[in-house]
Amino acid sequence: MRIINREEFELGKEEFFEKILKGAVFIYPTDTIYGLGCSAKLYNAVKKIREIKQRYTMPFSVIVPSKKWIMENCFVDEKAKEWLKKLPGPYTLILKLKNKECIAPNTNTDLNTLGIRIPNHWFSNYVQELGVPIVTTSANVTGGDFMTSLEDLDLKIKENVDFIVYEGEIKGKPSTIVDLTKGKEEIIRK
């Protein structure tokens, strides 16, 4: 397991992209908290995150490459379009999924909906460049405290990731979750 900063990630970008596309599980910063992620298109990588987190059935959200990706893979009604204007930002929008092939089937256990994010953070630019959705879930074992710094990173998580992109302490809170699957907005978590 390797701990790198933003500059090291940038300098070794091609190497890290290749690792992600081959199934690496990693921790990265966002505009809210640190995320635990992998390519959302790789079944075995998603399975590894489920095992690390001990989260076997609840769906994972993804950081998507772009709003265009959202339009191509999710159903976006007028209410959802209003929320898309708020991205990038600290929101997870739950939308109906129209292209079930855009993620591995174990990313979301029902495959009818998908939580999508575009954090207001430099890491989103790399997801856009990579061109594949990245699982985004808090870097903790389910039920435990989420990671704000290396000092509070759960050892079970740390031992099972390939690399950590670290930028110091992040004093945020998880994103606001907005369910837009019923033609209206429902705030699930603020």
Distance separating alpha carbons of residues 101 and 80, to the nearest angstrom: 21
pLDDT of 177 strictly over 80? yes
Number of domains present in the structure of the chain: 1
> What pLDDT, on a 0 to 100 scale, did the predictor assign at position 190?
67
Question: Residue 85 is part of which domain span?
Answer: 2-189
> What pLDDT, on a 0 to 100 scale, did the predictor assign at position 183?
79
CATH number reported for the structural domain that contains residue 180 in this entry: 3.90.870.10
Distance separating alpha carbons of residues 103 and 100, to the nearest angstrom: 7
What is the longest distance spanned by two Cα atoms in the chain? 44
Of residues 69 and 171, more confidence is placed in 69
User: Which among 85, 56, 66, 100 has a CA at the least distance from the CA of 180?
Assistant: 85
User: Which among 44, 47, 38, 46 has a CA at the least distance from the CA of 17?
Assistant: 38
Residue 13 CB neighbours (<10 A): 13
Tokens, residue 77: 């009604």
> What does pTM read for this prediction?
0.94
- Mean pLDDT for the chain? 94
